[in-house]
Amino acid sequence: MAWIKAFGRYLPERVVGNAELEAITGAEPGWIVKASGIEERRFAGQDETVADLAVRAAQDCLGAAGMAPSELGMLILASGSAERQFPGPAASVAHRLGLGTTPALDLPVASAGSLFGMALGSRLAEAQGPVLVIGAEIMSRVVLRPPINRDIAILFGDGAGACLIVPGGGFARILDSVLFTDGSFADSLRLEFNQPLAMDGRTVILQAARKIPRAIEEALKRSGWSAQQAQVFVLHQANLNLIVKVAQALQVSETKFCTTVRRHGNTSSASMLIAAAEWWREGRIEPGLPIVFSAFGAGFNWGALVAVAG
Do both 155 and 262 map to the same domain? no
Do both 136 and 205 map to the same domain? no
Residues of the chain with pLDDT under 70: none
Query: Would you say 292 and 163 are in contact if contact means Cβ atoms under 8 Å apart?
Result: no
Do both 109 and 182 map to the same domain? no
Give the residue from 166, 189, 215 where a domain finishes: 166
Predicted pLDDT of residue 60: 98
In single-letter form, the type of residue at position 122 comes to S
- Cα–Cα distance, 225 to 230 (Å, whole number): 8
**What's 80's DSSP letter?**
S
- Cα–Cα distance, 231 to 235 (Å, whole number): 13
Give the residue from 166, 183, 208 where a domain finishes: 166
Do both 185 and 102 map to the same domain? no
Query: Would you say 269 and 135 are in contact if contact means Cβ atoms under 8 Å apart?
Result: yes
- Cα–Cα distance, 199 to 201 (Å, whole number): 6
**What's the CATH number where 48 sits?**
3.40.47.10
Predicted pLDDT of residue 72: 98
Predicted pLDDT of residue 310: 87
- Cα–Cα distance, 233 to 291 (Å, whole number): 6
Do both 156 and 199 map to the same domain? no
Do both 70 and 114 map to the same domain? yes
Give the residue from 132, 166, 200 where a domain finishes: 166
Predicted pLDDT of residue 94: 98
Task: Provide the number of structural domains found in the chain.
Answer: 2
Do both 9 and 121 map to the same domain? yes
Query: Would you say 188 and 32 are in contact if contact means Cβ atoms under 8 Å apart?
Result: no
Do both 97 and 186 map to the same domain? no
| Burial of residue 46 (number of CB atoms within 10 Å: 0-12, 13-18, 19+) | exposed
Q: Which domain holds residue 271?
A: 172-309
Predicted pLDDT of residue 1: 77
Do both 44 and 92 map to the same domain? yes
Residues 80-134 pLDDT 10s:
999 999 999 999 999 999 999 999 999 999 999 999 999 999 999 999 999 999 9
Beta bridge partner(s), residue 291: 232, 307
Residue 306's alpha-carbon distances to 61, 213, 233, 309, in angstroms, are 20, 13, 10, 10
Do both 51 and 35 map to the same domain? yes
